[in-house]
Structure 1
Amino acid sequence: MGRAAQQAYDSIKSRILDQVYRPGDKLSEEDLAATVGVSRTPIREALRRLHAEGLVDWAANRSATVPSWTGQDLEEIFELRALLEGYGAELAAARITAGETDRLRDLCSVMEQHAAVPASDRADRVAMCNTEFHAIILEAGRNRRLSALLGAVVQTPLVNHTFRRYDEAAMARSMLHHRELVEAFEARDRAWAGSVMRAHILAARATLGHARKDQVA
């Protein structure tokens, strides 16, 4: 991907994940080109990649649309994450380095500090550390194909905004899961690591599911 296309990709993706562009919004190539400051050719290349990742619905010569996620989408995304990231945790338990476990432990501490402060951007701060936490585990598994499979799944707006839906109990549970994952990695226990990761992902699914029901009620 060329520099202009990468710039367009980063800009559009950021606006989708930050919900500047919301589900159902139409994104015309002309408007996007003016916003990003590039021509329409790199915009098309960026949209093609975003479409492959599930972040936009798009076809050539048509406006892109930010997809609306249904309850079924939510179930499918988190079921896939539980399966794939659970397996990734099992691989990591056998292959992770001491330096990687040290970094995970540090991230646990930082996330706990952010979670303890009721600031308006608390969720975003925790989510940023959480992204690195999961990326380290995936990298520690040393399986490039698994990384590719997870790439599209974990980059959806629903997943990136999970922590904005957490109440205090859900946040505390998530922090405990992170700590237990580090313990499982230090013990080199594949079954333990995999089971905790699956529980961690499915707990996030339940939290989002409850939040969606509350919004409808």
Structure 2
Amino acid sequence: MRAAAEQAAQSLRDEILSGAIPSGARLGEAELAGRLSVSRTPIREALSRLAAEGLVEIQPNRGARVATWSSEQLREIFELRLRLEPYAVRQAVPNLGDEQIAELDELAAEMLRVGTPGRHQDLAAIVELNRRFHGLFIDAAGSPPLAQALRGVTHAAVVTQNFHDYAPDALLRSLHHHVEMVAAVRAGAGEWAEAIMRAHLYNARATMIGRGVEEPDASAAPTGRGPERGTASAAPTGRGAESGSASAATTGRGSGGDDASATTMGEQG
């Protein structure tokens, strides 16, 4: 029974985080039991687990639904992410091995490929790629309490995030942030990666809840061993970024007018 509940919880978690089951959708026990070929008991246990993770809301006499968040709640969530996630990224940089860096590079390149306007654009595919990208940093930070806290607040962003809501310039900015974070990791520059993640979150927040928030002080962002402000060409090459990899886009060879480094110090989308 426990194995069935774990399997049901994982299936539902994947569907929610991928957007297959949208925010606010009702989760009927009978329908889910039939679809997942289990009894209602493991479904009930699975929903309870997802409720504990913040992905599902269970209301007395009304059943369960995928969690929703108000604008104010999303503001609070982004405040937490802005405090925790850039720090986690900086902590993760020295812990990331070659295999993990290669995976980050592949994810960043694939997000740029499927997110760039054209016949290959597939905005729905970005959600899972984005979740994996951020998850690698969270796991590599080496702090289970930090990972637990971040997964709670990043779930909300993933569930409500719709890349169709991004203006083209904001979307490209976000995609190039991923590329530049990989370059920072290859350079072993934790402060640089931290600054990019902070800019990345401001860009996402501006898209998801608007610009009615205070702009960050550009001079306050850590510079570390990262690039000079506004110049991608100053990015250190450090741990051997290859010209054919996604991280090469940060050196000015092809990122075009949406160069992510212009937002490194905290520009909103």
Question: Which stretch shifts more, 61-70 or 171-180?
Answer: 61-70
Instruction: Give SS of 2:58's match.
Output: coil
The answer on whether the counterparts of 2:94 and 2:190 sit within 8 Å (CA) in structure 1 is: yes
Identity of aligned residues (%): 37
RMSD: 2.7
Whether 1:43 aligns to 2:43 is: yes
How far did 1:20 drift? 4.0
Alpha-carbon displacement from aligned partner over 1:49-76 (angstroms, at most 9, x marks no partner) = 1111112222687622333321012112
Whether 1:150 aligns to 2:178 is: no
Instruction: Give SS of 1:57's match.
Output: strand
1:13 corresponds to which residue? 13
1:214 corresponds to which residue? none
Q: Distance in 2 between matches of 1:171 and 1:11?
A: 29
- 1:159–1:121 Cα change, 3 Å: farther
Aligned residue runs from structure 1 range 1-217, under 5 A: 2-17=2-17, 18=19, 20=21, 22-23=23-24, 25-58=25-58, 63-118=63-118, 122-156=122-156, 158-159=158-159, 161-210=161-210
TM-score normalised to structure 2 length: 0.68
Q: Distance in 2 between matches of 1:105 and 1:90?
A: 17
Counting matched residue pairs gives 210
Q: Distance in 2 between matches of 1:31 and 1:107?
A: 34
Ranges in structure 1 where 5+ consecutive residues have no aligned partner: 212-217
- 1:15–1:138 Cα change, 3 Å: closer
- 1:148–1:176 Cα change, 3 Å: same
Instruction: Give SS of 1:154's match.
Output: helix
The answer on whether the counterparts of 1:16 and 1:157 sit within 8 Å (CA) in structure 2 is: no
Q: Distance in 2 between matches of 1:120 and 1:56?
A: 33
How far did 1:206 drift? 0.7
- 1:122–1:201 Cα change, 3 Å: same
Specify the code of the residue in structure 1 equivalent to 2:57. D
- 1:210–1:100 Cα change, 3 Å: same
Instruction: Give SS of 2:102's match.
Output: helix
- 1:63–1:163 Cα change, 3 Å: same
How far did 1:22 drift? 4.7
- 1:14–1:137 Cα change, 3 Å: closer
Question: Which stretch shifts more, 46-55 or 175-184?
Answer: 175-184
Q: Distance in 2 between matches of 1:51 and 1:145?
A: 19
How far did 1:194 drift? 1.3
Work out which structure has the larger RCO, using CA pairs closer than 8 Å and 6 or more positions apart in sequence: 1
Q: Which has the higher helix share?
A: 1
Specify the code of the residue in structure 2 equivalent to 1:129. L
Specify the code of the residue in structure 2 equivalent to 1:55. L
The answer on whether the counterparts of 1:5 and 1:45 sit within 8 Å (CA) in structure 2 is: yes
Instruction: Give SS of 1:13's match.
Output: helix
The answer on whether the counterparts of 2:138 and 2:150 sit within 8 Å (CA) in structure 1 is: no
- 1:14–1:191 Cα change, 3 Å: closer
Instruction: Give SS of 2:155's match.
Output: coil
The answer on whether the counterparts of 1:181 and 1:197 sit within 8 Å (CA) in structure 2 is: yes
Q: Distance in 1 between matches of 2:6 and 2:118?
A: 35
Instruction: Give SS of 1:156's match.
Output: helix
Q: Distance in 2 between matches of 1:190 and 1:31?
A: 47
Instruction: Give SS of 1:134's match.
Output: helix
How far did 1:158 drift? 4.9
